Structure 1
């Protein structure tokens, strides 16, 4: 039965490719054939933007760990074949009704969603005009594509209203993400754990101290005491395994807050607050916050208040994403984002 299902899925992809190549409205896309199935490059229709939307000709898309987890564990997606990918940058090809802030040819970046017409592992996609921004002239498509998903998680966790975030004040008048945002919001010290080889880079973004992530809880506590007498009242856990959550929890003083990007996996003290970040564009509680962010994003990038991630470009266009996701799953990527060019080199 499983073989038959996979066979039918492959036939459906083939027929779709034939139909749309005949109609002249086809595009290439990386398709997940079925639940926990294979990735294949095939054809699907080019969508049309609705009111308040733009059609983007994608030039770059960044990969995220959730993409391989959807394939491996069969989570989130229920309709197949499916297009994944949620970090995108490209050129506006068409604007929908009511869109006045973009024109054909504008260079833009945006966060996609897990919807076949709005995901980014393809050559064209739809984006909401309210949550897209123009790319400054000093940034490439590839650099811009590394920003949306990681930045959204950090931004929502720090600035959304409770219980969805810490509800900190965002200093927009001053013109990674967590370290850069913490710096802009006046935090000091900003202590992060990471591989020691990334220490200089993280300090360039605003970290005051970088501690080796392999240190035990006791060693971390001792090192932090050497650096500051200020109690640790916020831990932002960007990994959020059970082990890192427990370490973060145990570093906090009563009244502190633990922010995690995955569901809570530990027994939390009643004296510690918890914020579970859901950096999903379409969640109602995120929409107003993210519209405000995107209206200011271009200026923040021009002023270098926000700096994109470092990245490595994958070869072979959409085909290269398959190997890139395997590298992410095998924990072979450190300190960079992997970026693909859906239209090839």
Structure 2
């Protein structure tokens, strides 16, 4: 049991399978200038978490505490923070990738990464949204500038980023095509997909043409193949930040745009997301919730690659 000056976190000392994760006790942080200390109530678990757990990714060798999604209550504010006070319910994303650490009882983070949690949703819902929603918003709105009536193809549309991206594209008035296994097509229709494609038995490059925007959540050959379904001047936004130069070279040959994007914390984007939530246009599908101590079980489920929606750690 943590004391007033300590907190429980999910840490790891080696890279590997979910069982490398363990609950340890560390010193509770104090907010620095322009930071807030948040008592975490819920924190999403994303593919980037289980990939970093296994490979180290951007973070290199452990020990480290994973987690970028946060929903909770402001415990204290640092010098200079004007937007929030103790007791405010907030949600947001820690700076990606270096701001990790939300799979913990408390986290200190820049105040400007956060906005007030919409009153109509609980912490589990709010804790599921930040990373996937900012990824989709920065891809579809800030980068691709999706407009009403445009045709948008979203790969892995039932996944964490995908199912949120569908809702954001629909809120922008787009016609949305989504790929997923057949068993998830009812779910896709529920969240607004206009045309569902079973990637297991259909080649999307033959089934889809004249697309304005593709959100590529898979990378590899999928990035290059996606370029071939675009209309002239269309754009593929890949959320996999590294890959072959073939992606850019093929885009130039075809007269289309190719962009790789890495999500980062952003208050304006979070405010836009909060407004969509408040308007009833955006909601996370919760694939499972786990107490903080069962983080390894959440990772094991995520590793299967078969969940629809988001996994969330419930901290308090």
Q: TM-score, normalised by structure 2?
A: 0.83
Which of residues 79, 92, 102 is equivalent to 1:97?
79
Alpha-carbon RMSD across the aligned residues, in angstroms, is: 2.7
Structure 1: distance between partners of 2:28 and 2:261: 32
Matches within 5 A, 1:1-345: 24-36=4-16, 38-78=20-60, 80-113=62-95, 119-160=101-142, 165-167=143-145, 176-187=163-174, 189-217=175-203, 220-221=204-205, 223-224=207-208, 231-240=210-219, 242-262=220-240, 263-265=242-244, 267-268=246-247, 269=250, 270=252, 271-281=255-265, 290-314=266-290, 317-331=291-305, 333-343=306-316
Distance 1:119 1:267 in 2: 35
Q: Is the 8 A contact 2:93 2:131 kept in 1?
A: yes
Cα pair 2:42 2:124 within 8 Å, conserved: yes
The structure that has the greater radius of gyration is: 1
Q: CA deviation at 1:114?
A: 6.3
Structure 1 position 137, deviation (Å): 2.6
CA distance in structure 2 between the aligned counterparts of 1:214 and 1:266, rounded to whole angstroms: 27
- Identify which range, 251-260 or 149-158, moves more after superposition: 251-260
Structure 2, unaligned runs of 5 or more: 149-162
Give secondary structure in 2 for the equivalent of 1:181.
Answer: helix
The structure in which a higher percent of residues are strand is 2
Instruction: Give how far 1:197 is off.
Output: 2.8
**Matched residue SS, 2:58:** coil
Q: Is the 8 A contact 1:318 1:340 kept in 2?
A: yes
- Can you list the C-alpha shifts for 1:266-297, whole angstroms capped at 9, x where unaligned? 7232223111010122xxxxxxxx22223344
- Offset of 1:179 from its aligned partner? 1.4
Count of residue pairs the alignment pairs up: 294
The 8 Å contact of residues 42 and 70 in structure 2, kept in 1 or not, is answered as yes
Contact 2:96 2:264 in 1 (8 A): no
What secondary structure sits across from 2:41 in the alignment?
A: strand
Distance 2:309 2:84 in 1: 30
Q: In structure 2, how many angstroms separate the alpha carbons of the residues matched to 1:224 and 1:297?
A: 29
Give the CA deviation at 1:80: 4.0
